[in-house]
Amino acid sequence: MAKKKANVRKHSAKAGLPPGALVLVGNHRDERVTIELIDYSEDKIDETEVIDVEFLEESLRTATVSWVNINGIHNTDAIAAIGKVYGIHNLVLEDILNTDHRPKVEPYEDYVFFTMKMMWYNEEDELEREQISIVFGKPYVLCFQERKGDIFDPIRERIREDSGLVRKKGTDYLVYRLIDSVVDNYFIIIERIEEKVEDLETAITTDSDDDFTRDIQYLKREIISLKRALLPLREAVSGLEKGVSELIDPENEKYFRDVYDHLIQIADNLENNREVLVGLMDMQMANMSNRMNQVMKVLTVIATIFIPLTFIAGIYGMNFDNMPELHFKYGYFVVWAVMLAVFVAMLFFFRRKKWF
């Protein structure tokens, strides 16, 4: 049954428009864009669902850290209004609305723009991805997501319970925790891929008659999708680690360095699994070749056995008058005996040669 095509806007929708034009590139959704605000300091925390974007202006006048989570980017008017409150350049808003954008970091005078891909396996064991765009300044962190639901609940709980360093540090540390959560989730995906590769290796080794080419190609596509999200993310985190902006406390650069090390480890694991898949594909091709050789061997043996039998039948099928065997009383039975003897002798010979 064919799947219904999603309502997706492509890059062609922006053709001919000026730079900074706010057009969604990605899935268009009908649900309402929701805004969640967590305002915290060492002493207090307030959580609010923002109805009016203008309410966010008050958070800019406080000394607390404001974590603004925007669920849904399909409403370009709402995104434009948020950008106006925080003074975000239209080129940045354009990148936020482009869900196919590669991960990167861009420092501006008063804020830093960072974008990455959050990936996970759904209930059908299919790899899904979502773009996470982060804009952070001195008192605020804006987190733009394509839809409601993420992997940041443990961070929210730490903020509520005043556990760890989140409430004691600034916006750059919160950004580190968000990025670290996404990267940690990559490890879960890598573990799942490794399990699939191991299962596939066992299946190919124990059951060489089945065709696993499709499964191998599917896993290779998943690895390619991960690498497309991972490699530019490594470059972006490297920029944060090197302090691309004064908004990043030099004391916190070591945390971004730790995330960078994790990304290198994930990249190495991906490369190892890719090499294993290449080996499995070679093994699959070898199994297919062996199966073909077995079939050809059987056909060759059958054809070879019937060559002398066909020769004998051809000789005595010519019906010349001067062939003495044609008038021999037991000629028919003798020919059959000779043909059976040749058949058995050739079977015995091939069996001794271990050709089958």
Task: Render pLDDT for 284-317 as a digit per residue (tens, 0 to 9).
Answer: 887 778 778 878 888 888 888 888 888 888 887 7
CA dist 222 → 49, 197, 204, 216, 283 (Å): 36, 12, 19, 10, 20
Does the pLDDT value for residue 83 go beyond 50? yes
| Cα-only R_g, the chain | 34
Handedness of CA 156, 48, 149, 105 (dihedral sign): negative
Region of poorest pLDDT, from 66-70, 311-315, 340-344: 311-315
CA distance 81 to 87: 10
Are the beta carbons of 145 and 132 closer than 8 angstroms?
Answer: yes
Look at residue 9 in the predicted model and tell me its pLDDT: 59
Does the pLDDT value for residue 78 go beyond 60? yes
CA distance 300 to 319: 30
Does the pLDDT value for residue 81 go beyond 70? yes
In this prediction, residues 34-46 reach a mean pLDDT of 90
Structural domains of the chain sorted by starting position, each given as residue range(s) with its CATH number in brackets? 8-286 (3.30.460.20), 293-352 (1.20.58.340)
In this prediction, residues 151-167 reach a mean pLDDT of 89
In this prediction, residues 4-24 reach a mean pLDDT of 62
Look at residue 306 in the predicted model and tell me its pLDDT: 85
In this prediction, residues 156-183 reach a mean pLDDT of 91
Residue with tokens 């899935």: 27
In this prediction, residues 67-93 reach a mean pLDDT of 91
Look at residue 55 in the predicted model and tell me its pLDDT: 84
Locate the DSSP E strands across the chain. 8-9, 26-27, 34-40, 45-50, 65-71, 104-107, 112-121, 127-136, 140-145
CA distance 101 to 79: 17
Look at residue 209 in the predicted model and tell me its pLDDT: 65
